Amino acid sequence: MADLVKYQPLEKCNAQIFDHQYWSDVDQMFIAEVPELPGCMAHGDSPADALDNAMQAIELWIATAEEFGDPVPQPKGERLMYA
**Residue range 33-61, pLDDT digits in tens:** 988 889 999 999 999 999 999 999 999 99
**What pLDDT was estimated at residue 79?**
54
**What pLDDT was estimated at residue 35?**
86
pTM: 0.71
Q: Return the CATH fold of 17-67.
A: Double Stranded RNA Binding Domain (3.30.160)
DSSP calls for 58-80: HHHHHHHHHHTT---PPP---PP
CB of 30 within 8 A of CB of 52? Answer: no
Q: Is the pLDDT of residue 72 over 60?
A: yes
Taking the domains of the chain in order of start, what are their residue ranges?
A: 17-67
